[in-house]
Structures are given as C-alpha cells and as structure tokens.
Structure 1
C-alpha cells in the first residue's frame, strides 16, 4: 500500500474507503435539531413539492413521545398548508389528544403498522401520480438504477385493492403486505412508506415516486435490465446510511422553503 502523504488511499479496498467516508460524514455533517412536529410539517411541504399531493388524500404520521400516540395532520388541510401549529397528536383510536379538528379516518391502518413494527417511527401514505399510474398496471416497482437502490428488495406490492382503508381489515392486509420492508405499492391506490425516522420516510417516499416515473419512462424503450443483487444491496446500504439520509432531508427542506417563499 502506498503510504506517502499523497495518494495513501489508492491501495485501500472499498470496504475500508466506505468506513472512512462514513466517519468523515459523522464528523463533518451538522444538522438542525428539529422536533418531531417540525420534521413532520417539513415532510408535508417537501412531499407537496415532489408531486405527492392529491387534494386531501394521504397522511403522514410520526410516533409521539407517549406510547400509543402519534403526530399527524388535520383533516381538511392540504400538505402545503401544514405547519407545526396545526398538527394533531392522536391515540391509536384516532382520538385527538392535542390540537383542533380531526385526523383522517384512513389513519387507522397506520395504527396497525405501528403495533406490528416497533422499528417504525414514521409512516408516509400518499397518492403520487407515477406510483399510482404504475399501481393500476398490476406491475411491481422495479429497482434498476443507482439512486433507486435505496429501495432494492425493500418495496412490497399489494396486488388486490382492499377498498378504502378505514376499517381494521385494511390495516391487517396492508401491514401484512408491508412485512419488514420500508415501502409498499398498493394496487389501484398509492404508496405507503414505513421507516426508522421521519427523515428516512420522507426521502424514501421521494425516491419511490422518482423510481416509478423512471420505470414508466423506460418501459416503452424495452425490457428493464436487472441489477446485480450484490451490488444493489451494497448501494442500498450506502444510500440509506443515516448521515446521508439526514443530509438529503435537510436539502429537500431548504429547497421546499425557497420554492414556497417565491410564491
């Protein structure tokens, strides 16, 4: 290995270089210390900017400090109208603990996911155009490009629409379909994302819509070539590294803030 002052890293293997890069990110990347409510409100505005709005459809939730509670938006407001002050804190039965108004009744399936997945801290459910377009073809999301590798082997597909998700049966079906994965495309419906943090859920949701758009654009050109599973898994883990995800989230938040300030 070259040990000179310059070019010392040229003889290192990829695993070592990956470790070095992650150590540097841990030291160098500094982020604002936002509350859960601030992150949820920012996620609503970010996803609005990325085409996830569909009128009043869709919900974003994050676990509250007290077990069995979560923060969500008030029914009647669009994603672009969400602020910290108009968010609700509700319990598993959607009874409002803090705030004015009511939660979307479709939040019921979130409660089922939270009960089954203690690792999940945030759930995003939206109806973005390209995911919805893909969902009506009966075709699962195919991950075949580097940026989308954060989704590799991590997106389930619910092939049969169970109807409006306000009942307990829909909660059971969607939770079972999701399993241990981070996301699921729901046929004739939309997208659900369940992740370890608000930041991760936001970034994964953005990438799901982008990957669906890419797949629909590529389909007329010919068959989609599959990725090497080993390389795809390597990219999956690299892109989902906590520091990278948080950096991406705050970039999207800054971009959304600039866009909304110009209106």
Structure 2
C-alpha cells in the first residue's frame, strides 16, 4: 500500500485516510526528536494507511507514544482499538465523556448501525473494536503532554460534541481542531480563500456553547487549524466569523422548519440548498456530481 499524505512543516504530516473518498478525512502524524503521535485515526478501515505512512517515513512503531483523539465519532476515532494493537508503547488520550465508549464500543456501534444501517457500517467503517482500558487516559482541559521537545495541550471544546477536545501545539501555533473549527474542503478554495462551514452531526450540537468555544480558541491567536475535514488552513478572526455565521444560518433553518411535516427531509434539503448557495457566492463552480 502506498499511502497518500501531505508533508507540512513543524514535523506535521496530514494523512489522507481515504475514507469515503480522497481529500475528505485526515489524520495527523506529529514527529519531534524521534518520537511520534497520531491525532485522530480515521475509521477501522483507515488503520493500514496509518501504518503504511509510518513505514514510508521510516518511523518505528515503538516510537509512537500517543494516539490523541479529538472526539469519538467514528471518522475520527473508529480505528483507535485496531491501531493501538500495533503500537506497543502508545497510549490513547480521549475526553472523559468518550473514554467508556472506547473501552466498550457496543453502544457506539449500535447507534451508528441504527442511523446508517449494517451495510454502510461494514462497507465504509469496517468494524469497531475495544481499546484496552489500561491504554486509555482521560484528556482533561488544560492537561499537557510532552512529545520530544514540544508541548501539546488539551482544551475542552464542546459544541459539536460534548466529548470533544482540541490540541494546541505551541511549536506550530496551531490547533488540531477535529470538527470544532469547522470543515473546509480544498476543492472549495477560490481566490476568496477557504470556505468554512460547520459539520451537521446533530446529536450533541449546541450552537451557543459551540460559539463560546470558538471565541475561547481564538483567544490563543492560532495561526493554523489542522482540520480533519480537510488538511491545514490558516485560521483567522475572519475564519471564525465565517464559521459562526454559518452555525447561525443552520440554526435558523432548523428553527424555521421545526414544525413542518416531514421535518427531517425539509431541513436536509434546506441545508443542502444553503451550502450550495454559500459555495456559489464563494466562487465555487459545482457540477451535478459534486
């Protein structure tokens, strides 16, 4: 297997997990002074790609110290239980609200299958296996870990999910942001810059808490956001304002249509039209397939 990855500066590699399609779901590899850490894993099916990246970069599996999970949604953490089997010295850091579901993922599995179905689960996610309890460490707000000569700091970042943390990297002045700082696909880049909007996972979506989290992160004055969806972008106050604007736009759609018959379908169609509209205004040229 030849993995697809983007070598960034500051010892950071963006790995394309090739989940669903290319340029959609990233995991990150951080290297410093001969030690390494993964940030997010992608799903179970992504693990061979992560291991192939280590091989391509001549990194010994024994030199990986950490798997750092931003949250436990399966496109971010579904591979943790499988990956840890190959990394004998690694531990897994996760928000306290997510730890139990890593150790016993039965409820998480049932929930995903209930929403997407067994066929989707097998075809696109593969499997979901437990992470040994003795390998799991709670990532609390303000906790720090050392990787080589760099300090990584966990920040509690609810809004998209209650079990979400971001990781602040002082060396790059960047945030490994999971889904908290939105999604921004490179094919939507135009001369206006990046188009940033929120993911629509609804279960623990809390717009006011999310906006407060964004303001909290902006107080760090980050230079970069390392997005799971997708790759690194420069993250400015303008970026934050764009994300907040679209969170408000999504909320307005949900409120307006909350009493509509067949509410789910109506909201889904309106969100799609909203995204098509903002993409067009951003200068993105879309065909029917996209």
TM-score by length of 2: 0.26
The structure that has the greater radius of gyration is 1
Relative to the length of structure 1, the TM-score reads 0.28
Structure 1 or 2: more helix by fraction: 1
* Structure with the higher fraction of residues in strand conformation: 2
